[in-house]
Amino acid sequence: MPTPPEAARSRALVTTRHGGPEVLEILERELPKPGPGEVRVQLRAAALNHLDLWVRRGIPAGHWPVPIVPCADGAGVVDALGAGVVGLAVGDPVVLYPVRSCGNCTACRAGDPPHCKHFGMLGEHVDGCAQEHLVVPASSVLPKPAQLGWAEAAALPTTFLTAWRMLATTARLQPGETVVVHGASSGVGSAGIQVAKVLGARVIATARRDADLQRARELGANDVLRSDDPEWSRAARKLCPGGVDVVFEHIGGELFSASIRALRRGGRLVTCGATAGHQVDLDLRKIFFHSIAVLGSTMGSLAELETVVTLAGRGALRPEVGAVFPLREGRAAMQALEGRAHFGKIVLQVSDDEAPAAT
Ligand SMILES: [Zn+2]
């Protein structure tokens, strides 16, 4: 049988089964073809999220299908159009909306896929961006902000969309309010600092390393606190007498309970994750006596991502890239994510012909 031409093949980083980084392998696959209303994107960079760790480890058990290509986030160039696609051309640089949903329910029709029963992410139940080519609905790509490098563009969607929805939409953060942003060195934390500043708030950032606190200040944090100091919530109340207006939470564990104590009466805690533990010790008396609102938030809508992309295009938001690895070093990239030694996102350089901007 004749060998297919090289251009008809596409490389992908694949989580072949559940386990440690050793389950990641580079596999060659047939080049996908876009169907009606779809585009094929030649990816230049893809960004890792904690979701990729849960999927790879298979936690919770039975929830994640394998094999699967990781990375919800990606940026690249449109390289093929399906039938009926208008408004896009081959060669357009784009970032991907990382959400998948049914498209037909009340939430989807209202433009709010995070409330869809079939909500999911790229790299979760369908293949993600750690591959050279991905076919997606034409409606799910947005123009890449010109001043962002490929690595930065890939690092933008999930973290900034999540942070934007948490603070602007869910917690309704107001100009002049004070917000504690936890985990400043993480992708979503460094995004939270920038979004809070865009919204005109005063930011108290927390992290576990002094170097990360310094970087948080450079991103615009007005004050910084070590989150491993058991007295940090008391210190926050000293900086903001009466308590802070909002806490931006994504870590869980003990930090969650202490965050409730840092809030003023009538304050809001908004949470999108629990990387340090999802079972927390909560004194309900604080919640009702102090009229505390605990708000959950997941990802965001395409319209919210458009806002984020527009703000990034104006230079108001800029993703922090902690490290860039070539696609073939996907295992090392995931170990870097697990090691938490970097400030900002871990990014995979997907194509070899054009290096993404590393910072
Ligand atoms: Zn739906």
- Domains of the chain and any CATH numbers: 6-156+320-349 (3.90.180.10), 160-296 (3.40.50.720)
Cα(116) to centroid(ligand 1), Å: 4
Tell me the percentage of the chain whose pLDDT exceeds 70: 96
141 pLDDT above the threshold of 80: yes
Rg (the chain; Cα; Å): 20
Per-residue pLDDT for 194 more than 60? yes
Give the pLDDT score at 288: 97
- The mean per-residue pLDDT over the stretch 167-182 comes to 98
* CA distance linking residue 217 with residue 149, whole number of Å: 23
Report how far ligand 1's centroid is from the alpha carbon of 118 (Å).
6
Contact 246, 167 (CB under 8 A): yes
114 CA distance to ligand 1 middle (Å): 8
Q: Determine the straight-line distance between the first and last CA of the chain, rounded to whole angstroms.
A: 46
Residue 303, amino acid: A
For residue 5, the model assigns a pLDDT of: 52
Q: Tell me, in angstroms, the distance from the centre of ligand 1 to residue 109's CA.
A: 7
pLDDT at 92 over 60: yes
User: Given a cut of 60, is residue 159 above it in pLDDT?
Assistant: yes
- What's residue 335's pLDDT? 95
Q: Is the pLDDT of residue 197 over 70?
A: yes
3-state secondary structure the chain: CCCCCHHHEEEEEEECCCCCHHHEEEEEEECCCCCCCEEEEEEEEEECCHHHHHHHHCCCCCCCCCCECCCCEEEEEEEEECCCCCCCCCCCEEEECCEECCCCCHHHHCCCHHHCCCCEEECCCECCCCECEEEEEHHHEEECCCCCCHHHHHHCHHHHHHHHHHHHHHCCCCCCCEEEECCCCCHHHHHHHHHHHHCCCEEEEEECCHHHHHHHHHCCCCEEEECCCCCHHHHHHHHCCCCEEEEEECCCCHHHHHHHHHEEEEEEEEECCCCCCCCCCCCHHHHHHCCCEEEECCCCCHHHHHHHHHHHHCCCCCCCEEEEEEHHHHHHHHHHHHHCCCCCEEEEECCCCCCCCCC
Given a cut of 60, is residue 172 above it in pLDDT? yes
The CA distances from residue 337 to 75, 154, 302, in Å, are 19, 15, 26
CA of 298 to the centre of ligand 1 (A): 15
In DSSP terms, 263 is beta-bridged to 244
302 alpha carbon – ligand 1 mean position (Å): 13
Ligand 1: centre distance to CA 20 (Å): 33
Taking the centre of ligand 1 as the mean of its atom positions, its distance from the CA of residue 129, in whole angstroms, is 22
Q: Cα of 245 to ligand 1 centre, how many Å? A: 33
Residue 160 and residue 172 in contact, taking contact as beta carbons nearer than 8 Å = no
What value does the mean pLDDT take over residues 318-324? 94
How far, in Å, is the centroid of ligand 1 from the Cα of 112?
Answer: 8
Q: What pLDDT sits at residue 221?
A: 98
In this predicted structure, the answer to whether residue 3 has a pLDDT above a threshold of 70 is: no
pLDDT bracket for residue 359 (50, 70, 90): very low
More confident residue, 5 or 67: 67
Q: Which residues lie at CB < 5 A from ion ligand 1?
A: 101-102, 105, 108, 116
- Calculate mean pLDDT across residues 92-100: 97
What share of the chain has pLDDT > 90, as a percent? Answer: 89
- In angstroms, what is the span from residue 37 Cα to ligand 1's centroid? 18
Q: What is the pLDDT of residues 285-319, one digit of tens each?
A: 999 999 999 999 999 999 999 999 999 999 999 99
**Whether the Cβ atoms of residue 32 and residue 331 lie closer than 8 Å to each other:** no
- Interval between CA 138 and ligand 1 midpoint (Å): 17
CA 124 – ligand 1 centroid, Å: 16
- Which pLDDT value is given to residue 356? 42
Distance between Cα 100 and ligand 1 center (Å): 9
Q: What is the pLDDT of residue 168?
A: 98
Question: How much distance in Å is there from the Cα of 305 to the middle of ligand 1?
Answer: 18
Q: How confident is the model at residue 357 (pLDDT cuts 50, 70, 90)?
A: very low
- Strand-pair category, 73-81 with 93-96: antiparallel
Instruction: Give residue 337's pLDDT.
Output: 93
Cα of 137 vs centre of ligand 1, distance in Å, is 15
What is the pLDDT at residue 7? 56
CA 341 / ligand 1 centre spacing (Å): 37
φ and ψ at residue 6, rounded to 5 degrees: -60, -35
CA–centroid distance, residue 32 to ligand 1 (Å)? 25
Summarize pLDDT for 5-58 with one digit per residue, the tens: 555 899 999 999 999 999 999 999 999 999 999 999 999 999 999 899 999 999
User: What distance in angstroms lies between residue 107's CA and the mean position of ligand 1's atoms?
Assistant: 6
d(CA 51, ligand 1 centre) in Å: 21
Q: Is the pLDDT of residue 268 over 70?
A: yes
For the beta carbon of residue 12, count every other beta carbon within 10 angstroms: 25
Q: What is the pLDDT of residue 277?
A: 87
Kindly give the interhelix angle for 210-218 and 187-198, rounded to the nearest 10 degrees.
30
75, 128 Cβ separation under 8 angstroms: no
Q: Which distant-in-sequence residues (6+ apart) come within 8 Å of 73 by Cβ?
A: 46, 47, 49, 95, 96, 98, 122, 129, 154, 155, 156, 157, 158
User: Residue 1: pLDDT above 60?
Assistant: no
